[in-house]
Structure 1
Amino acid sequence: MNTSRTPTTDAVLLAQLLERLERGGHPDAGQYRMVVRRLGDELARIDDVDTLNSLLEAHPAAAELYENLHYAQAGLCRSLLDASMASELRARDVIARARRSTTEGSAQG
């Protein structure tokens, strides 16, 4: 059995742990911060772009972390445009409904 540790194997294990923490409900805040910090460090150690992309594609929580860590340089470069647009449209709809209910409430009162 090959037990050599590399930045990639450590990052994969931490990415899997982060996925479990996010799906598991209410993780301990300290544990969550530690996993996120360590995963961020391991992602930074991966030199091969193809390896990094494969890991991020397989682990959405790690991809979101990576995007957040590099937001200043690249913005939301890993977010799917469709998902981003859908979120923006939903937000606009909610804001419009809130404005209408506020306007209707002040007109009646």
Structure 2
Amino acid sequence: MNTSPVSVNRNLVVLARVLDRLERSAQPVDPEQFRSLVGRLAAELEATPRDAGLDSVLETFPAAAELYENLHYAHAGLCRSALEPALAAELAARAAIESARRTA
């Protein structure tokens, strides 16, 4: 069994933590400050190899995970979203559409 500690990019953690705080904040956030933060975090996410350290950050910070998913959407779709809820939502939507068609 591998018991070596996971190496985590400290800049990535700090930026992810700040983004999560801003996302949950009840106070208004300066749009330019937000864009700057997201840009810096996006650059760190792109520069960080996909490994256990990155997975740990993405599991801990939902806003960073959402940004990561958006950055990779063109190639991987909703790569970090659970498949079961997405599939259930799609099936429910199809059933609702079909039901609406029958009653129309």
TM-score range, shorter chain: 0.7 to 0.9
> Are 1:31 and 2:33 an aligned pair?
yes
Larger Rg: 1
> Are 1:17 and 2:10 an aligned pair?
no
Counterpart in 1 of 2:51?
A: 49
Structure 2 counterpart of 1:42, one-letter code: E
* Structure 2: segments with no counterpart, 5+ residues: 1-7
| CA pair 20-89 structure 1, distance change in 2 beyond 3 A | farther
Which of the two has greater helix per residue?
A: 1
Instruction: Kindly provide the CA deviation profile for residues 44-86 of structure 1, in whole angstroms up to 9, marking residues without a partner as x.
Output: 1212511111110111110000000000110001012244346
Scaled by the length of structure 2, the TM-score of the pair is 0.72
| CA pair 60-90 structure 1, distance change in 2 beyond 3 A | farther
Counterpart in 2 of 1:107?
A: none
If asked which structure has higher relative contact order (CA below 8 Å, sep 6+), I would say: 2
**Cα distance in 2 between the residues matched to 1:19 and 1:30:** 17
**Cα distance in 1 between the residues matched to 2:9 and 2:46:** 10
Percent identity (aligned): 50
List structure 1 runs of 4+ shifted beyond 4 angstroms. 85-96
Q: State how 1:1-109 maps to structure 2 within 5 Å.
A: 8-25=9-26, 26-85=28-87, 88=90
* Structure 1: segments with no counterpart, 5+ residues: 1-6, 104-109
Counterpart in 2 of 1:3?
A: none
Equivalent residues, number = 94
